[in-house]
């Protein structure tokens, strides 16, 4: 006979239970109300809301049900502080939702995460039109906000100063900036960031329809991480040249995953530890970097010089192509501090590899991905030996190999025969080579005259 287990969870005090429920979506914490009389209204004491419009059945009056639910939650204990207010109402238009967000801010919310609705249906003609849901003005003076995430929202010009003394994390995507209409300047990213003296992490995705912000500028002494992630859409062709400028002497990590802007300007990135680049310095799809364009050449040169103190770097095939084209008309600056590189080199640009490595004299760890194309007209060859192979490179990893052929062998032999201090070469295959076993590859490589006799070869 099985003995009933003690309900240890219910023995916990209510404040501890509500803290645990805070980490669940609200729809799940509501489900606990059926457990017992004690649990019936316990979810209303949770110091946060995590709600998605998809949690409600889709029908014409859905937004009213969601508003009623939110109002009940906010009014149940109006004097209590909120730790989290996370609402996705991207599917439905909620009248006066700005007031509900303002209420959450007034109650000392620490985490604000809002995904706004961008469309509304006209009651008269039944047609759907674009709209902008604006955030409340008291957001700009929140003394408790630690994390702010806004998607597809609007920000008005503030009436006074912007000052959020505790804000450390900010994620802004598809924002629209608007003037108050009283003659003031339009709110912008620079002004918002300048009012956050302890901001550490910023993620920013420009609205693809923003044709007003000629210069988007980030100036911060506290910022440590900046990310411009991939956002599928069509940027460019807006009739104005849009520039992104970042001036952050404390920045340690920068990730640019997409070309959101026509120009990129970096200043005072003296603490930079890692960069992750997947850009081609051209916003419009289908276009490539033009080495004959003097302004673009200067932009790339200034950008590379501005990040030259970095220690770790990841670059995509698109960025490698730009650097390869630039190297034919300009000099890539020295990255004397760089010790680790992860790069995707198209096989058509493989001969640029020694040129690029020459600018990395102290490189110790190299991860290469080389998508080999068998149908090539130009002879595959690596000749020049950069300084890092002679005195610095200790670990080489070649990833995502599909097969083992002449080109793959040439790449491996180039490094084995020229790297004087190489400790380990790792070859990682995606599946099994068609005609060669691991033993065959290992024996073929061991028959080479290795510049570093103690180099270990690993096939994975």
pLDDT in tens, 217-232: 999 999 999 999 876 5
* pTM of the predicted model as reported, rounded to 2 decimal places: 0.88
pLDDT classification of 1: cutoffs 50, 70, 90: very low
d(CA 63, CA 193): 33
For 314-336, how does the pLDDT look when each residue is reduced to its tens digit (9 = 90+)? 999 999 999 999 999 999 999 99
| DSSP secondary structure letter of residue 171 | E
183 falls in which pLDDT band (50, 70, 90)?
A: very low
Distance, CA of 341 to chain centre: 19
What are the distances in angstroms from CA 52 to CA 30, 85, 97? 14, 11, 14
Work out whether strand 176-178 and strand 153-156 pair parallel, antiparallel, or are unpaired.
parallel
Pairing of strands 169-173, 147-151: parallel
Q: Are 350 and 372 in contact (CB under 8 A)?
A: no
Tokens of 240: 């104005």
Q: Extract the tokens encoding 280.
A: 């081609």
- Alpha-helix residue ranges (DSSP H) falling in 283-360: 294-306, 317-327, 353-358
3-state secondary structure of 21: helix
Nearest to 411 by CA among 346, 363, 360, 455: 346
Tell the residue number behind the tokens 């034919």, with chain if given.
328
Residue 111 has phi, psi (to 5 degrees) of: -125, 120
Enter the tokens of residue 329.
């008309």
Cα 406 from Cα 436, distance rounded (Å)? 12
Share of the chain above pLDDT 90, in %: 49
Confidence of residue 197 (pLDDT cuts 50, 70, 90): very high
CA pair distance 180, 28, nearest whole angstrom: 40
> Could you say which DSSP state residue 306 is in?
H
Contacts of 15 (CB under 8 A, 6+ apart): none
Query: Do 310 and 275 meet the contact criterion of CB atoms below 8 Å apart?
Result: yes
Number of DSSP helices (H) and strands (E) in the chain, helices first = 11, 23
Which stretch of 179-183, 213-217, 411-415 has the lowest confidence by average pLDDT?
179-183
Residue 411 vs residue 237, higher pLDDT: 411
Report the chain's C-alpha Rg in angstroms: 28
**Across residues 87-95, what is the average pLDDT?**
80
What torsion do the CA atoms of 231, 233, 237, 242 make, to the nearest 10 degrees? Answer: -20
Instruction: Sort 242 into a burial class: Cβ within 10 Å, 0-12 / 13-18 / 19+.
Output: buried
Find the distance separating the first CA and the last CA of the chain, reported in whole Å. 52
Tokens for 321? 């192509």
Q: Give the range with max mean pLDDT: 12-16, 48-52, 182-186.
A: 48-52
* pLDDT tens digits for range 374-407: 555 455 677 789 999 999 999 999 998 888 888 8
């Amino acid at each position: 006979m099985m003995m009933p287990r003690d309900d240890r969870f219910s023995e916990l005090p209510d404040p501890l239970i509500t803290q645990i429920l805070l980490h669940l979506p609200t729809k799940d914490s509501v489900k606990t109300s059926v457990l017992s009389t004690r649990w019936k209204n316990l979810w209303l004491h949770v110091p946060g809301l995590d709600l998605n419009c998809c949690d409600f059945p889709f029908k014409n009056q859905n937004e009213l049900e969601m508003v009623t639910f939110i109002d009940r939650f906010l009014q149940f204990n109006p004097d209590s502080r909120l730790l989290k207010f996370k609402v996705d109402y991207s599917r439905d238009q909620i009248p006066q939702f700005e007031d509900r967000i303002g209420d959450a801010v007034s109650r000392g919310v620490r985490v604000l995460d809002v995904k706004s609705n961008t469309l509304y249906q006209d009651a008269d003609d039944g047609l759907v039109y674009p709209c902008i849901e604006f955030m409340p003005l008291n957001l700009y003076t929140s003394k408790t906000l630690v994390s702010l995430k806004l998607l597809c929202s609007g920000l008005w010009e503030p009436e006074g100063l912007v000052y959020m003394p505790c804000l450390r994390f900010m994620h802004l995507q598809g924002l629209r900036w608007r003037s108050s209409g009283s003659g003031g300047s339009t709110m912008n990213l620079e002004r918002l960031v300048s009012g956050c003296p302890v901001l550490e992490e910023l993620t920013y995705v420009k609205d693809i329809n923003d044709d007003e912000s000629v210069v988007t500028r980030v100036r911060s002494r506290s910022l440590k991480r900046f990310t411009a992630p991939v956002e599928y859409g069509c940027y460019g062709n807006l009739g104005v040249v849009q520039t992104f400028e970042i001036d952050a002497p404390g920045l340690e990590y920068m990730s640019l995953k997409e070309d959101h802007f026509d120009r990129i300007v970096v200043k005072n990135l003296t603490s930079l530890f890692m960069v992750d680049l997947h850009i081609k310095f051209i916003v419009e799809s289908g276009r490539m970097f033009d080495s004959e364009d003097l302004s673009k050449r200067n932009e790339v040169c200034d950008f590379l010089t501005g990040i030259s103190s970095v220690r770790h770097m990841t670059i995509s095939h698109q960025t490698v192509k730009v650097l390869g084209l630039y190297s034919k008309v300009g000099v890539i600056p020295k990255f004397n501090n760089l010790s680790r590189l992860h790069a995707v080199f198209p096989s058509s640009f493989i001969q640029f590899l020694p040129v690029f490595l020459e600018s990395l004299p102290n490189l110790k760890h190299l991860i290469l991905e080389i998508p080999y194309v068998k149908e090539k007209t130009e002879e595959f060859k690596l000749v020049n030996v950069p300084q890092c192979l002679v005195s610095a490179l200790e670990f080489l990893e070649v990833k995502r190999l599909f097969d083992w052929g002449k080109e793959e062998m040439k790449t491996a032999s180039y490094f084995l025969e020229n790297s004087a201090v190489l400790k380990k070469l790792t070859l990682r295959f995606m599946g099994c080579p068609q005609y060669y076993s691991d033993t065959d590859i290992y024996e073929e490589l061991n028959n080479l005259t290795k510049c570093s006799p103690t180099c270990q070869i690993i096939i994975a």
